[in-house]
Amino acid sequence: MNHDQDGADVLREQLSALMDGELEGSEKAFLMRRLAHDQDLKASWDRYHQIREVLSEPQGPRRSMDFADRVMAAIEAEEAPAPQRAIRSGGSGQGWRQAFGAAMAAGVAAVAFWVTEPVAPELTDPGAGRSASMVELPANAPTLMPVPLLAPVQRASFGDSGAGGTQLAPLEAHYLLQHAAAGVPSAPGTASAYVEWAAQQR
Amino acid sequence: MSEADTDLELVSRVLKGERKVFDLIVRRYQSRVCAAVAKVLRRSPDIEDVAQETFLRAYRALPSFRGDSSFYTWLYKIAINTARNHLATNSRRPQLADVDISVAEHFEDERRLLDRDTPEKEMLREEVEQTVLKAVDALPEDMRTALTLREVDGMSYEDISKLMECPIGTVRSRIFRGREAIDRLLRPLLKD
């Protein structure tokens, strides 16, 4: 018996002990690593378990000879879209590139929207140096006029408000103005135009 | 160290990304899972499908396995639940009583219900079983006793060593040599 055969026998004896839960420490760690890649050892593992099956469950239900292969094929088929999962995890730069691409697309769409949206000429006053929302709106510009200008919004009543429900509460107005200031520049017809108008009405 | 420790090690390796190690788990427990499923489904041709679903569910849920119970206990619960769900889902379908008697004759042998093999594979399986049983009979007495105590009675090496009044290393060697003697006869049969 040559040296290689001796080594293989030692490995299979360790495998036999491993399947019985009788292998310890470094032997076990080494064999586990080896087992994942050594086809001969895996085949021995399979045959040893077949022997166990015949001896321990002689009257047990039979299974197909290729049952394990079918299970593993099903698992591999299920995991086929795994690369998608890897992208979501953000582990590679590809995810960032995709996110950047999406952000760029959204930006272009937003620019296209503002450029192409029709704006009433009387609302654009480049010489004034003010935003469109600060322009005094003419009475005959109903098309772009925010609805609140035509009919003051009723405050939502929560039962204890005796203010008649026609004005924004100071806290509300402050809150809305702060948010409007933090947001994008006002444009005609946006909520911030209304907020500024409502604040001026107080 | 126990079989449960071996299972934990295998599970740990799968969770670290060595997906193919799950194959070792399947081969280790395929028969027991089929048996567990068969307890619930009894005479059903779906036992293998449900057993396969059990392993798929176990694979998906592996990250949630915390080792509070043994791996096989955990797997067994999944098998039973999967089988019960299958039974509930299919309770509205026609039962065996509705099947034509000529078809039902094929269901007489319960063990055959799991069989999806071709006639060639069925013959091979028979041959494997006969080979194992004959090989065990042909083993020297000490090897056969050690292997039988281990595989049939599920005894630990320590208990076998006490029973046979020999060192644990000897038990380990006898069991291995017994397996090898059987395996030498199996290899030509199972060579793909």
Smallest Cα distance from A27 to chain B, Å: 12
**Total structural domains in chain A?**
3
Residue ranges of B 53-112 with Cβ closer than 8 A to chain A: 55-56, 59, 110-112
Other beta carbons less than 10 A from residue B71's beta carbon? 22
Domain identity same for A57 and A127: no
Distance CA A171, CA A1 (A): 92
**CB-CB contact of A120 with A143 (8 Å):** yes
pLDDT in tens, A10-59: 999 999 999 999 998 899 989 988 988 899 999 999 999 999 989 987 66
**CB-CB contact of B186 with A51 (8 Å):** yes
Contacts of A23 in chain B (CB under 8 A): 1, 6
Average pLDDT over residues B79-106: 66
Residue A155 has pLDDT above 50, yes or no: no
Residue B101 has pLDDT above 50, yes or no: no
Domain that holds residue A96: 85-116
Residue B3 has pLDDT above 90, yes or no: no
Smallest Cα distance from B51 to chain A, Å: 9
**CB-CB contact of B132 with A54 (8 Å):** yes
Residue B97: pLDDT band with limits 50, 70, 90:
very low
Domain identity same for A52 and A107: no
Domain identity same for A66 and A90: no
Domain identity same for A105 and A151: no
Residue B140 has pLDDT above 70, yes or no: yes
Domain identity same for A76 and A43: yes
Report pLDDT for A25: 87
Report pLDDT for A118: 47
Average pLDDT over residues A96-117: 55
Report pLDDT for A159: 39
Distance CA B88, CA B103 (A): 23
Helix axes of B47-61 and A67-78: crossing angle, nearest 10 degrees: 50
Q: What is the dihedral of CA B192, B60, B75, B31, to 10 degrees?
A: -20
- A35: tokens are 């087992």
Residue A174: pLDDT band with limits 50, 70, 90:
low
Q: Residues of chain B with pLDDT > 90: what percent? A: 57
End-to-end CA distance of chain B: 34
Other beta carbons less than 10 A from residue B87's beta carbon? 15
Q: Residues of chain B with pLDDT > 70: what percent? A: 85
pLDDT in tens, A61-93: 678 888 999 999 999 988 765 444 433 434 344
Report pLDDT for B124: 85
Report pLDDT for A78: 82
User: Of A71, A72, A79, which to mutate for an interface test with B (greatest number of B Cβ within 10 Å)?
Assistant: A71
Distance CA A145, CA A124 (A): 14
**CB-CB contact of B117 with A64 (8 Å):** yes
Q: What is the dihedral of CA A55, A6, B13, A43, to 10 degrees?
A: -50
- Answer whether B19 sits within 8 Å of A21, measured CB to CB: no
Checking A188-191 for CB contacts under 8 A at 24+ apart, the result is: A188/A119, A188/A120, A188/A123, A188/A132, A188/A133, A188/A144, A189/A144, A189/A146, A190/A133
Distance CA B149, CA B160 (A): 7
Residue B131 has pLDDT above 80, yes or no: yes
DSSP B42: -
Domain identity same for A126 and A170: yes
Residue A173 has pLDDT above 80, yes or no: no
Distance CA B154, CA B157 (A): 10
Residue B44: pLDDT band with limits 50, 70, 90:
confident
User: Of B7, B21, B22, B34, which to mutate for an interface test with A (greatest number of A Cβ within 10 Å)?
Assistant: B34
Choose one of A66, A99, A116: the last residue of a domain: A116
**CATH 1.10.1740.10 placement within chain B:** 1-92
Residue B121 has pLDDT above 90, yes or no: no
Report pLDDT for A178: 59
Report pLDDT for A93: 42
Domain identity same for A156 and A182: yes
Q: Is A61 within 8 Å of chain B by CB?
A: yes
Domain identity same for A29 and A52: yes
Indicate whether this complex's ipTM tops 0.85. Answer: no
Residue B20 has pLDDT above 80, yes or no: yes
- What is the CATH number for A72? 1.10.10.880
Choose one of A54, A80, A106: the last residue of a domain: A80
Report pLDDT for A170: 55
Across chain A, mean pLDDT equals 63
Residue A137: pLDDT band with limits 50, 70, 90:
very low
pTM above 0.80, yes or no: no
Residue A8: pLDDT band with limits 50, 70, 90:
confident
Distance CA B2, CA B27 (A): 18
Winning range, highest mean pLDDT, from A111-115, B35-39, B73-77: B73-77
| CATH number, domain B115-192 | 1.10.10.10
| CATH number, domain B1-92 | 1.10.1740.10
* Among the partner residues A16, A36, A63, nearest to B30 by beta-carbon distance: A63
Residue B19: pLDDT band with limits 50, 70, 90:
confident
- Answer whether B51 sits within 8 Å of A63, measured CB to CB: yes
Report pLDDT for A87: 34
C-alpha dist (Å) from residue A127 to A30, A114, A124, A132, B160: 80, 20, 9, 11, 100
End-to-end CA distance of chain A: 102
Of A70, A78, A46, the C-alpha closest to B29 is A46
Residue B107: pLDDT band with limits 50, 70, 90:
very low
Q: Note the Cα A171 to chain centre separation in Å.
A: 35
**CATH 1.10.10.10 placement within chain B:** 115-192
